[in-house]
Chains A and B, each alone.
Chain A
Amino acid sequence: MVTTNLTRRGVIQTGAAAGAGLALPTILTAGSHAGFTNAPTGSTVTLGFNVPQTGAYADEGADELRAYELAVEHLNGGGDGGMLSTFSSKSLNGTGILGKKVEYVTGDTQTKPDAARASARSMIEKDGAIMITGGSSSGVAVAVQSLCQEAGIIFMAGLTHSNDTTGKDKKANGFRHFFNSYMSGAALAPILASNYGTDRKAYHLTADYNWGYTTEEAVRTSTEAMGWETVAAVKTPLAQTDFSSYIAPVLGSGADVLVLNHYGGNMVNSLTSAVQFGLRAAEANGKNFEIVVPLYSRLMAKGAGKNVAGIFGSTNWHWSLENVAGSKYAGSNAFVQSFGTKYGFPPSQAAHTVYCQTLLYADAVQRAGSFNPCAVAEALEGFEFDGLGNGPTVYRAADHQCIKDVLVVKGKENPENDFDLLEIVDVTPAEAVTYDPAIFGGDLGSCNPGA
């Protein structure tokens, strides 16, 4: 009587048929399913969009949802098709995925691993979602990824930057398009060296949790490799709101660069404090004092206001990329056009990465000819593509991480509006940020189709 992870949609169909004929209870057993969790049997397929809708990242989550809705529209043949027209793989044709119309359900991660898993499980168990995607923090991504591995569902990570997601916590059913801490460090180092010189003393403030650790490590290693010295690294509580007591001693420490390994509200507040304490205007060791923010996002830049002016950082994508860096990054403008027309402002990097993830998943299913997670994973592994706005990209098979160019940006001095806050300084080519997937340990395991 007991079956593992019965496919819900299959059951509904069979149940309905039996019910109509006999109106008798039908107890379903193993064998009545297609061999993997939630195999879609009707004319539709359901995707699960799990994004933060409450809490500090709610606005980022809202932007992700906009991009998901746009992606669904394009997959079903609506709108202007967005990046479908520039995507190098041409298997998607606007008739949904494998001819099935794409539908979706949404959930709230609350940026808490527990709540995110509850929401994802509800999508899998109740709504029959075939794929889960989204999220705006690494804690959530790692937690939901392992859940999907257990349930036999593909997980397409949203915004998650920690090395762990495709490093020590990587899973066969999980894929990440976004870049990571290591790549940020590797991309930033040469540009910091050319702008600030190789003789610098850095002071790190690091958010006291996993992402903070990996980011500090990455930036330290790559800046020390080119001659910088690390004066001190201080951990700050994640729940901290006023960073003044951490910022105040920086000027007297002998450092001439402050690296803020913070994200979200942490970064907005610590940067605001740093500027208040006059670090931007100060001089140390005969040089201008500088501040670096390894991971930038537009929403953070908006929260910090004028304080971001002139401050370097890295980002996965920016809406002006194709205009600035040329047609290598084809797709960017198509996406901006279609997003901007629908919503009235340009998309954020979070919106971009989740849009790409949705398209990549749909394309992989189409190419594999099956929704089976193992077939999809196989189609994604080692997949080389172009035209999704980041230039030529490869989904590396060894750790399910996308390898692509990384943008180095800085805060604009005189932004023209709320969305024009960052300007692209340089693009570090993919070769310069590639690393050996073995260095972070972890084990993909084997793909799990559930059932």
Chain B
Amino acid sequence: MDQIILQILNGLDKGSAYALIALGLTLIFGTLGVVNFAHGALFMIGAFCAVTLSRILSLSHVVLDETKKDFLGKPLKVEVPYANDWFGPELGGAIIDWAVPLSILFAIPVMILIGVIMERGLIKHFYKRPHADQILVTFGLAIVLQEIIKYYFGANQIPTPAPEAFVGSFDFGALIGLDSGKVIYPYWRILYFCFAMLLIGLVFAFLQFTTFGMVVRAGMADRETVGMLGINIDRRFTIMFGIAAAVAGLAGVMYTPINPPNYHMGMDFLVISFVVVVVGGMGSLPGAVLAGLLLGILESFASVREVIEFLPGINQVVIYLAAIVILLTRPRGLMGRKGVMED
């Protein structure tokens, strides 16, 4: 029982990352009709927003410590962050410690800006081009973005820990009335899941309850008619692209304490999030979220020891196997509409 709860919990938290990326992909596809292979790169750039901010906050000057020697036998260089000088070691340290949560504020404007520039500068010219061309140009863009990050940050992973208060784990089982010590789960991962749900909720509420969202939904259903009504739908779609980029970016920011980011992390998520989008049904936002969470849970259960012993290699292929089964039994994914991307 506790194993099952543990894996469901794990699947939800893994799946929420898939869901966030897939949600952004579907937003872009649903509004602009563009297959964006650079979406993984946006996730990665979000993560590097956190890295950048934590570097900015811990900008340091060097103090020579004559009492210690470095590896060449010279006086040891100790780096003292400016934050410590200005705010004192206590407050300064706390600011550096909270770099990742602070990055959320930093990442939102940056990611929206990047999204808007991408759409206006590049994607706009590809609305009328075949999907294959869109894939190629966004894939090229993804490589370029990735290489730029690699050039500045290197290929190695960069540890970006959560604030001290969220490090470690707690007894989740005891909270829901199970035996204590059985279901132990890290704070940050629970937080990630809650954050993802909040973000998804916000996006849905935005689309559902605001006039802006209503127009966007109308545009998704029938772009031309909305245009004919005198509404500047292009501008709104551009903003939606920015929002989708921000969603991916925030998913990346919050992901950094879970796994240290490197320049390649976007590509690792790209294929899986496409599978998620398609399994959910092209163009369906609830489908993307549902499929993300379901595949996350499935992946978690497939990695249980007893399952692997019974079916060796199942943990390697379960997502793809699920995708095949779902697409063969439900032709347009879980919640897809007819006629989307079938030619």
Contacts and interface: CB of A to CB of B under 8 A. Distances in A.
Direct interface between A and B, CB < 8 A: yes
Interface of A: 54-59, 208, 232, 234-237, 239, 241-242, 244-246, 248-249, 251-252, 265, 268-269, 272-273, 276-278, 281-282, 299, 302-307, 319-320, 336-337, 340-341, 345-346, 416-417, 419-420
Contact of A276 (B17, B77, B150, B186): B186
The 7 A-B pairs of least Cβ separation, nearest first, read A305-B159, A303-B157, A58-B155, A278-B169, A276-B186, A245-B300, A245-B303
Contacts of A340: 71-72
Given A241-B269, A272-B260, A417-B79, 17 more contacts: A59-B156, A244-B189, A244-B258, A248-B10, A252-B6, A268-B260, A269-B157, A272-B259, A276-B258, A282-B184, A304-B260, A336-B72, A416-B76, A416-B78, A417-B76, A417-B77, A420-B71
A268 B157 contact: yes
B155 A277 contact: no
Nearest to B171: A278
A252 B259 contact: no
Contacts of B3: 249, 252
B255 to A, nearest CB: 9
A235 B308 contact: yes
Contacts of A416: 68, 76, 78
6 contacts: A237-B315, A241-B269, A252-B3, A268-B157, A305-B161, A306-B159
A304 B71 contact: no
A185 B184 CA distance: 31
Question: Which of B150, B154, B159, B303 has the most chain A CB atoms closer than 10 A to its own CB?
Answer: B303
Contacts of A236: 303, 315
Nearest to A53: B155
A299 B14 contact: no
A416 B67 CA distance: 13
A249 B268 CA distance: 24
A269 B186 contact: no
B182 interface: yes
Given A241-B259, A251-B184, A276 B168 contact: yes
Interface in B58-75: 68, 70-72
Nearest to B157: A303
B239 to A, nearest CB: 31
A245 B155 contact: no
Nearest to B76: A416
Contact of B299 (A245, A272, A273, A341): A245
A235 B302 CA distance: 12
A56 B6 CA distance: 31
Contact of B159 (A55, A278, A307): A307
A57 B155 contact: yes
Interface size band for B: 35 or more
B179 to A, nearest CB: 10
A269 B259 contact: yes
B19 to A, nearest CB: 14
Contact of B156 (A299, A336, A337): A299
Interface of B: 2-3, 6-7, 10-11, 13-14, 17, 68, 70-72, 76-79, 150, 154-159, 161, 167-169, 182, 184-186, 188-189, 258-260, 262, 264-265, 268-269, 299-300, 303-305, 308, 312, 315-316
Contact of B304 (A249, A277, A302, A303): A249
A232 B305 contact: yes
Contacts of B264: 55-56
Contacts of B156: 59, 299, 302-303
B186 A245 contact: no
B342 to A, nearest CB: 30
Given A251-B184, A277-B186, A320-B71, A305 B10 contact: no
Contacts of B258: 242, 244, 272-273, 276
Given A245-B10, A245-B11, A248-B7, A341 B159 contact: no
Nearest to A337: B72
A346 to B, nearest CB: 5
Contacts of B262: 56, 265, 303
A276 B70 CA distance: 32
Given A237-B316, A268-B260, A245 B71 contact: no
B72 A249 contact: no
A235 B265 CA distance: 22
A303 B158 contact: yes
B67 to A, nearest CB: 12
A319 B259 contact: no
A337 B259 CA distance: 34
Nearest to B72: A340
Interface centre among B13, B14, B70 (most CB of A within 10 A): B70
A273 B300 CA distance: 14
Nearest to A347: B71
Contacts of B188: 276
Contacts of A55: 155, 264
Contacts of B189: 244, 276
A126 to B, nearest CB: 25
B14 A277 contact: no
A234 B168 contact: no
Contacts of A281: 168
A276 B260 CA distance: 12
Contacts of A306: 159, 161
A58 B155 CA distance: 6
A282 B154 CA distance: 34
Nearest to B170: A278
B2 A242 contact: no
B79 to A, nearest CB: 8
A346 B74 CA distance: 13
Contacts of B14: 242, 244-245
A237 B316 CA distance: 6
Contacts of B154: 58-59
B305 A249 contact: yes
A307 B79 CA distance: 21
A277 B308 contact: no
Contacts of B268: 239, 241
Contacts of A268: 157, 259-260
Contacts of B186: 276-278
Nearest to B13: A244
Contacts of A242: 14, 17, 258-259
Nearest to A269: B259
